[in-house]
Amino acid sequence: MLDIKKSLKGRDLLTLHDLSVAEVNFLLEEATRIKALQKAGIPHPYLQGKTLAMIFQKSSTRTRVSFEVAMVQLGGHALFLSPRDIQMGRGESVADTAKVLSRMVDGIMIRTYAQSEVEELAEHATIPVINGLTDLTHPCQILADLLTIKEHKGYLKGLKLAYVGDGNNIAHSLLYGCAKVGMHISVASPAGYQPNAGVVKLAQQDALETGARIEILTDPLQAVTDADVVVTDVWASMGQEEEQKVRERAFAGYQVNEELCAQAKPDFIFLHCLPAHRGEEVAAAIIDGPHSVVWDEAENRLHAQKAVLATLL
């Protein structure tokens, strides 16, 4: 366990694929442990005197609050940096920003559009860089998702997760995450909206180590059949608003509703990273119903973030 913790110290978190099976499981165990400390009212100031720079090219509720509160409760400090607050928003290079911040803070979290921007930041920074979301991946969200599933099901390996909807950053990171922990995953997306083929290939390589099965489908009924966990996300992510009407037509028939979830196991749980559009990708009866664990999932962003920060920084 100490060897795994040492292997993660000072590292970046750009995608879950970059972590080993043991490292992903270690972060989940750390999140469980730190959450128990908080619930018991036991202080855990592991990052006393540490500072995290938080760069937000994309706005957020859960990412902003969870990282900032996590740093405070870990004894450190967080700096919120929007494009209006730093020169990166006015043409300063990513490399120069990385070098400057590396001289002043202990870690960088960035939430932006291009995965290449996060990778460039990490290449030039001498401190840990954490991917708070890109259009390609969202590793911190999926750590919280896996933590939530483990809490409700008691284990992860061998469970079936069905993802219905856009083959986006959530789908990509679920593919990586499920492959790392040995969960079977079926992704159902319309033609033209399926996950990135390169991501699927890497996830399949990861799955060889854990025995996870990966299916990329177009039929949501087939994907959800006998699922232990059902997940969806918005049909048009941030930056795709102009595609809303086109996507509504493409995703007709992909709503997660009572009829679809009747194919899942009777004790299935439902997850959504939020924000949700009731009546579009998910019916109110599901997200507000007895199978939904979305509020536990949202809270677990805080605990998963604490594990990442306390380990990397």
Token reading at 169: 């950053």
Q: What is the pLDDT of residue 107?
A: 98
Residues 126 and 266 in one domain: no
Residues 163 and 267 in one domain: yes
Q: Which residue among 233, 261, 272, 305 is the active-site one?
A: 233
- Beta-bridge partner residues of 108: 53, 129
Please check whether residue 292 is in contact with residue 252, taking contact to mean a CB–CB distance below 8 angstroms: no
- Each residue's pLDDT tens digit, 184-201: 999 999 999 999 999 999
Identify whether 305 is a catalytic site residue.
no
Number of domains in the chain: 2
Name which of 253, 140, 133 is nearest 193 in CA terms. Answer: 253
Q: What is the pLDDT of residue 85?
A: 84
Identify whether 90 is a catalytic site residue.
no
Residues 258 and 229 in one domain: yes
The helix/strand/coil state of 107 is strand
Q: Is 300 annotated for ligand binding?
A: no
- How many angstroms separate the first and last alpha carbons of the chain? 17
Identify whether 206 is a catalytic site residue.
no
In CATH, what number is assigned to the domain containing residue 112? 3.40.50.1370
Q: Is 232 annotated for ligand binding?
A: no
- Each residue's pLDDT tens digit, 279-300: 999 999 999 999 999 999 999 9
Please check whether residue 260 is in contact with residue 231, taking contact to mean a CB–CB distance below 8 angstroms: no
Residues 118 and 159 in one domain: no
Q: What is the pLDDT of residue 109?
A: 98
Residues 197 and 131 in one domain: no
Residues 114 and 158 in one domain: no
Query: What's the CA gap between 223 and 164, in Å, rounded?
Result: 8
Q: Which residue among 12, 17, 57, 141 is the active-site one?
A: 141
Residues 149 and 290 in one domain: yes
H-type alpha helices, the chain: 2-8, 21-39, 62-73, 94-102, 115-124, 139-153, 169-181, 197-210, 220-224, 244-250, 258-261, 284-287, 294-312
Residues 127 and 153 in one domain: no
Residues 291 and 157 in one domain: yes
Residues 95 and 234 in one domain: no
Query: What's the CA gap between 8 and 311, in Å, rounded?
Result: 7
Provide DSSP, 114-177.
-HHHHHHHHHH-SS-EEEEE-SS--HHHHHHHHHHHHHHHS--TT-EEEEES--SHHHHHHHHH
Q: Is 139 annotated for ligand binding?
A: yes
pLDDT < 50 stretches in the chain? none
**Phi-psi domain of 11 (left: phi exceeds 0; alpha: psi -120 through 50; beta: other):** beta
Identify whether 17 is a catalytic site residue.
no
Side-by-side strand order, sheet with 107-111: 77-81, 51-56, 107-111, 129-133
Q: What is the pLDDT of residue 238?
A: 67
Whats the size of the chain, residue-wise? 313
Residue 29: count other Cβ atoms within 10 Å of its Cβ.
15
Name which of 187, 158, 153, 150 is nearest 170 in CA terms. Answer: 187
Residues 154 and 131 in one domain: no
Return the DSSP state at 193.
S
Q: What is the pLDDT of residue 248?
A: 92
Residues 157 and 282 in one domain: yes
The domain in which residue 285 lies consists of 141-297
Identify whether 301 is a catalytic site residue.
yes
